[in-house]
Amino acid sequence: MASEEGSQTISLKVHIDKEKNRVVMAEADGDFVDILLSFLTLPMGTIVRLINKQPQPATIGSLTTLYKEVENLEKQQLLQTQLCKSMLLHPRNPSENVCRKVKLNVDDSEPTKYYICANWKCSRRESGGLYTTFKNLKCKCGKMMDNDDIRMQIEDETARLEGDGGVFVCRTNKFMVTDDLQVDPISTATILTLLRKLELKDMSSLQETTLIIGPEEILKLLKGILFSKTPLTDVFLRKQEFTAEGLKFEMGDPLQSSLSSEGGMTLKLMMSKSMNKVLYVEAGEDLVEFLLSFLTFPLGSILQLLGGNSSLGSMDNLYKSVQHSGVTRDDSLRNLLLQPMVCRGFTCRRNPLGVKESQQPPPSLWCRSYANGRMANPYTGYLTTKKPNLKSGDRLSLLDFVNPKSPTSETAGQGGFLKGPATFIITDNLVFTPLASFWSLSFLKSMELPLDDLVFRMVKVGTVEALRLLKASLSSNSVFTDALVEFGLKISKQESKTQ
């Protein structure tokens, strides 16, 4: 979803404290704030991909490792369908139609298209027809669903955005954006409050300058917000390049959850007693599915789950600005940013954190076809979410959305990315492989640890533990150790030897 105009730029007025060489604040219009807020709708897999494409890539905890693991997956060995790999590497944003109106949209994902069976008879049946948003899925009749020569008429969910040209906020409004990404409608009161907070007494030290920002700068800003507590200064003033060492892991306050812990996953941890560290985990495909689903989570949903305590640079401040300052145009847009959903078909089989699936694309669509004897194909038509009025000669059928992860073109159920049942070995930095005794022996030998230093522990992962795993994956290369061992799973000297 690259910007339609390609080479667009926006201007941003910033106020700089010359003595301390820092950005005090930016005076921004709606275009710049829309760009910032659109970051909350991006799936984490998209963010990892965008960050890795930059000349100076940076590591987002163990998610970057997990993304690379998917890149190296053999499609047919572990995955349910050939599409599963591209779904994880290019997760879709269900708010893409809204975000496409952002003036500088850095998401390079392809726009969603709608496909039906190449055999028109399948789509003209009164019931049982199928549609998909993924090319070359098989229809139940055996033909490929690759016919996109059909119009899509869907209610324009962005029609209400046309008024002043803004998206999430009104373009004509003015906002104050602080160096740590707090966004508020601009006013004399908010400015004075900020200056006093910064203990800036001499106004003569402030220098005003206008920056011209294009797509390249926006990508750098996305990375800066993820890694820095002062992204405006570090990106625009100091031109800082963030290293590949990643974020500093801070679990912070113990995470709590009101979600049900029923059906938790059981893990077997191979640990080193001397280092009090997880070497690897043995678990079923449900754990790997859960970890892979992190790539499909929109950033805003992660910030929501973690209660604004993600440790992702300044992103928490941006999220809280939407929560508390009322910057958005209406409640529906506010909810879209605060509680973004996973695109339909992208949820995993095991979903302990309860991230909801979007209604986009719709679970079913009406297909209206009408006679046109002069065409080689006697039927043309369109898809629509609303049941249309029929005219003489028209045909109407209801098409169901195909689960893209299903090898048999099923329409019901979430399904999984991986084939199962299977047991996997997952290292502390989220490298995973099917269980094989030779791999385990080789790995343990490489650690050069005495056998009496090794111990297995069984751990039950409920929703609180799942939240810790999510947070640790964002900024740690020792996910299981930091998420589980550091919170009560200590190894005593009396523990038995390896089981």
**Which three-class secondary structure state does DSSP give residue 271?**
strand
The pLDDT of residue 340 = 94
C-alpha separations of 310 from 20, 175, 254 in Å: 28, 25, 12
Q: What is the pLDDT along the chain (499 residues), one digit of tens a residue?
A: 333 444 589 999 999 999 899 999 999 999 999 999 999 999 999 999 999 988 888 899 999 999 999 999 876 688 988 899 999 999 999 999 899 999 999 998 998 888 888 777 776 665 668 889 998 788 888 888 888 877 776 555 555 565 667 899 998 899 999 999 999 999 999 999 998 898 887 778 899 999 999 999 999 999 999 999 999 999 999 998 886 555 666 666 556 655 545 557 889 999 999 999 999 999 999 999 999 999 999 999 999 999 988 989 999 999 999 998 779 988 999 999 999 999 999 988 778 898 899 988 888 888 877 655 433 444 466 788 888 887 777 778 888 999 888 888 887 666 789 988 889 999 999 999 988 766 777 877 888 889 899 999 999 898 889 999 999 999 999 999 999 986 656 554 444 444 4
The pLDDT of residue 483 = 92
Number of residues written out for the chain: 499
The pLDDT of residue 246 = 53
Those residues with Cβ within 8 angstroms of residue 369's Cβ, 6 or more apart along the chain or in another chain: 120, 123, 124, 379, 380, 381, 394, 395, 396, 397
Our measurement of the distance from residue 239's CA atom to the centroid of its chain's CA atoms, rounded to an integer in Å, reads 27
Q: Which two tokens stand for residue 377?
A: 């194909």
The pLDDT of residue 437 = 61
Prediction pTM value: 0.90
Query: How many whole angstroms separate alpha carbon 270 and alpha carbon 436?
Result: 15
The answer to whether 132 touches 151, Cβ cutoff 8 Å, is: no
The pLDDT of residue 385 = 81
